[in-house]
Structure 1
Amino acid sequence: MKLNHFVSRLSAQQRTLLYVTVGIVGLALLERFVYAPVGGRFDDLDQELVVKETQLRRNLKSLAAREGVLAAYSPYTAYASTVASDEETIGGLLKEIEELARKSGLALLNVRPKPATKTDLGKQYPVEVELETEMSPLIRFLHGLHGSKSLLRVNQLRLDLKGGRGPQVKVSLLVTKSVIQ
């Protein structure tokens, strides 16, 4: 009631000035306590959105690169080792060498596995193989080693004539299986 009494005593020009002043103060308070916090929050959300978009672009590039690496790596997955012990790997290597020798018509005289060695990409498992044979079965055996699904490689090959002029040769091989880990 006092407010109405106060306003009614003012002249028309003073009332207009009072209303304009109250309106300006009200708008200033509204801007300061409503619009500024909401606008600040929108600015923060915009900045966060820009950061997230940048992270998303970077992650998409990483995913594309990952897919490229996986596609390039896929032909070699057969050579990658599952978590097998050294004994299991050496046992599989010896079995594979014996089977290749049997298919080639060779009789193995001596097969000695050596300790595994670590390399940059994994491990190498060397095996010394001694046998006596003619050249034709030996070539089939070496071709079988080369064409194996395992990464087998003949690191050393020594041929000695057995006896005199016969076709038999004594062969000493160092076969190495490489396992990618």
Structure 2
Amino acid sequence: MKLASLVIDLLKTHCNSVNYDGLHIAYDTGNQRYWIYVNDIAYDNGRLAWFQVDSGDVKRLVIYDEKNVSSWIAVTSREDTDEHFDCHLIEWVGEYLTFIYHEKHKIYIGSVSGNRGRAFCFRGDMIKRIGDIIYCKEYLHNGIIKRGLMPSVTELTPVALHELEKEAIVLEIIGYGDNMFNLGSEQAQ
């Protein structure tokens, strides 16, 4: 409720109607209605960010800090967006806002720092986070695992699945409602 309260207080200064049902924050600007899932909010040292969906089904990342408000429309495959969008991670890491979201067939991994954003996506449903490395298994590339360095979202050289197996790294299926704070998140040994 603490993060939801921060967002609600901020929205009440700018919006006509703000409602909270324990799971979603809904607000109305007069022209548009928006929904925010409470698990899709991140806060750090005066910076607040969240994913929201509008009544036209546009997904947007909104970032507030003491000086600026910015937003970024989430990249999606339009045919996959209707009810198949789920945020698995949104967190501040230093100056970066990092996020992972999933639509029907793709997982997007990205970060924003200042006015610069980076992201990559893969077609798959298996992922593992160990420290600053994200491992991703694509549907059609059974033996190859994509890797990304967080929070800069630098795509690293892919590795063979058997190399991960030697290190006892097991990717996990990510589904709707899973949260990367818990799923496949381990500290580097």
Query: What band does the TM-score fall into relative to the shorter chain?
Result: under 0.3
Looking at both structures, which has the greater relative contact order when contacts are Cα pairs under 8 Å and sequence separation is at least 6?
Answer: 1
User: Is the helix fraction higher in 1 or 2?
Assistant: 1
Instruction: State which structure, 1 or 2, has the greater radius of gyration over its C-alpha atoms.
Output: 1
Q: TM-score, normalised by structure 1?
A: 0.25
Give the TM-score taking structure 2 as reference length: 0.24
